[in-house]
Amino acid sequence: MKLFGTMKKNQNGNLEIGMCDAVDLAKEYGTPLYVIDEELVRRNCRTFKENFKSYGIETEVIYASKAFLNLAICKVIEEEGLSLDVVSGGELYTAIRSNFPLNRVYMHGNNKTEEELRLAIESNIGRIVVDNRYELELIQELCDELDKNIDVLLRVNPGVDAHTHEYIQTSKNDSKFGESIFSEDIYEVIKSFMKSERVTLRGFHCHIGSQIFQETSFYMSVSVMIDFISRIKEKCDFVTRELNMGGGFGVYYCEGDSPIELGNFLSNMVVSTKEECSKHNLAIPKIMIEPGRSIIANAGTTLYKIGGTKKTYGEKNYIFVDGGMTDNIRTALYDAKYEAVVANKLESNTNIEYTIAGKCCESGDIIIKDIVLPEVKRNDILAVLSTGAYNYTMASNYNRIPKPSVVFVKDGIARLAVKRETYEDVLRNDVMF
């Protein structure tokens, strides 16, 4: 079991995050509660900024906001000098309301609506990442209507095996994302961009998947993409000025996970791009990456209050908590694995194997299977680690359960970033007729 960032055992024997006692946080803000270690978020941002660079090469680190997004994190990301990746009108609107510099916003998505694209164009965002040729037509129409020009990247599918869960591979040849670089049609697609008077194609974007532990997958992606832009130069006379290699850098969730050592790897990514360009006699484009999970996952902890325990006829021990798949759907979706501690019993020596179950009316509402913990009792505080990514953002109101609140902790100060929903919030959009 690993503790991350500012986590430690304090003098009371309790879990401490950002110099704040987790038990006290649970009492003050209620449970379930998402706790974000702000210092670790900033440290992770700096790791990417400081290592993804090389003399004479323009680089950019773009935070993938789908991992975790609210007004507070926008402020942190801006302060740390990263750009922002959004994939919906809601995410873009959050960036707008946070006063994030819109020239540093990149808009993704495989089926952007007319409303979303209109907002993006009107807001003069930095780039739209175009998913397909039909989206280009819509963007051109909107630019004509709004009398605006826009810079774009074209998302392409390099067909690189990411060696990760099937559901989070995004570069397979039958992926819903992007245009295949192996299709003969790709040349006509690019030529159609080049004819546009309103839309300027600056380069390409690819993303091979998420939670990837093998460096070779990323290096292969670089090699394939540089070969592709070389072919595009030859066949279309198009010079690629920007190349976005996406994200997908894996993180530690549980024993057996072996994340890439980011410092050397990020530097090597830049060097690899430089070398591949040299092989093909290409000018080095600006290169970008999009970390999300690797910035926020280990910085997040979810606190639950234990309601009780049960031993089944089959001798299985359950812990029941006051949250579940409404605040963490990843276990049900991906069979995700987590580690956890009892925040008020870090010094306990008893060991019992439990399965941690949520309160939703679903057999699959399981947070962790078969974890060894101290013997627990009602009102103990369970801390599930590494829940910063895709937990808050994927939360739901299933069973009409209000969504939890979010607090940022740093230097002994806890700041509320998202209010806890009330029952009235759950009903807010209902209409009685």
Q: Residue 38, annotated ligand binder? A: no
Q: Residue 360 catalytic? A: no
pTM of the model: 0.94
| Class of residue 404 by CB neighbours under 10 A (exposed 0-12, middle 13-18, buried 19+) | buried
Residue 398 counted as an annotated binding residue: no
Is 392 annotated as a binding-site member? no
Q: How much is the CA Rg of the chain, to the nearest whole Å? A: 23
* CATH architecture of the region 108-291: Alpha-Beta Barrel (3.20)
In 3D space, the residue among 154, 170, 249, 168 whose CA is nearest the CA of residue 203 turns out to be 154
Residue 170 pLDDT grade (very low, low, confident, very high; cuts 50, 70, 90)? very low
What is the distance between the alpha carbons of residues 128 and 254, in angstroms, rounded to a whole number?
Answer: 36
Instruction: Tell me 96's DSSP state.
Output: H
- Spell 315-332 as b/e; 16+ CB within 10 A means b: eebebbbbbbbbbbbbbb
Among 45, 206, 277, 361, the active-site one is 361
Domain boundary assignment for the chain? 8-37+298-427, 108-291
Q: How confident is the model at residue 1 (pLDDT cuts 50, 70, 90)?
A: confident
Q: What backbone phi and psi angles, to 5 degrees, belong to 321?
A: -120, 165
Which residue's entry shows tokens 């292969």?
A: 220
pLDDT tens sequence across 17-45:
999 999 999 999 999 999 999 999 999 99
Residue 290 marked in a binding site: yes
pLDDT digits (tens, 9 = 90+) for 348-360: 888 999 999 999 9
**CATH architecture designation of domain 8-37+298-427:** Beta Barrel (2.40)
362 annotated to a ligand binding site: yes
Phi, psi of 109, rounded to the nearest 5 degrees: 125, 140
- Taking only the tens place, the pLDDT of each residue in 76-106 is 999 999 999 999 999 999 999 999 999 999 9
DSSP H or E segment with residue 331: helix 330-334
Q: What is the pLDDT of residue 164?
A: 44
Q: Residue 421, annotated ligand binder?
A: no
Mean model confidence pLDDT for the chain: 94
d(CA 401, CA 411): 32
User: With helix as H, strand as E and coil as C, how does 119-139 read?
Assistant: HHHHCCCCEEEECCHHHHHHH
| pLDDT band for position 162 (cuts 50, 70, 90) | low
